[in-house]
Amino acid sequence: MPDLDEHLKIVSRSQRPPISDGLPAPDEAAPLPTPGDPYKAASMPSNHPLTRLCCVMGRSGFKNGAKAYRFFQYANLDSDGDFGYVDGSQQFTLRIACRLPKLIIVEGRNLLRICDYIQLHRQSWIRMADRDFGDDGLPPQEPLITSIRIEEWTPDDREN
């Protein structure tokens, strides 16, 4: 019969959950959209927290010298985000507190759920539309991102 220490080692090994690297299985990973893909405002929300958010900048980002994909670490997402309404559309603001702080301003319609999933670190990417679909092809209840602006941010720019 094993002594008490040996017994505890055996029991603790059998109770331990399997080791995982924390990465989603390949079929769960949300591939980034490319210019030819049909428009979708955001990836499917993940079932677990993610490490980064990618902003896909729309057609203008895919021009020579432009930045098509902008990546931000969720660890740098400031807790002072907001959601509101401006000029007939919805808007939310993210503050990224890193070496060169950024302010990300996202505008469009039906954005509350996307904003919430970003605050929960569960949205892999968001994508700016190349145009406003209006009555042309995108159902009115679908999220639509008409603008993603990424600006330098200093503490003096904070709103109350």
Is residue 5 situated within a structural domain?
no
Is residue 26 situated within a structural domain?
no
Is residue 45 situated within a structural domain?
yes
Is residue 14 situated within a structural domain?
no
Q: Are strands 52-56 and 125-127 parallel, antiparallel or unpaired?
A: parallel
Q: How far apart are CA 150 and CA 147, in angstroms?
A: 10
Residue 155 has φ and ψ, to the nearest 5°, of -55, -25
Element (H, E) at 13: helix 4-15
Domain count, the chain: 1
Is residue 21 situated within a structural domain?
no
Is residue 13 situated within a structural domain?
no
> CB–CB of 105/151 below 8 Å?
yes
Is residue 16 situated within a structural domain?
no
pTM: 0.76
- Please report the sign of the dihedral spanned by the C-alpha atoms of residue 91, residue 159, residue 54, residue 128: positive
Is residue 63 situated within a structural domain?
yes
More confident residue, 10 or 65: 65
Please report, for residues 11, 16, 49, 160, the alpha-carbon distance to residue 3 in angstroms, rounded to integers and kept in the order given: 12, 20, 41, 63
Q: Per residue in 30-41, pLDDT tens?
A: 789 988 888 899
More confident residue, 121 or 8: 121
Per-residue model confidence (pLDDT) at position 61: 85
Q: Per residue in 80-111, pLDDT tens?
A: 889 999 998 999 999 999 889 999 999 999 99
Q: Which domain holds residue 139?
A: 40-155
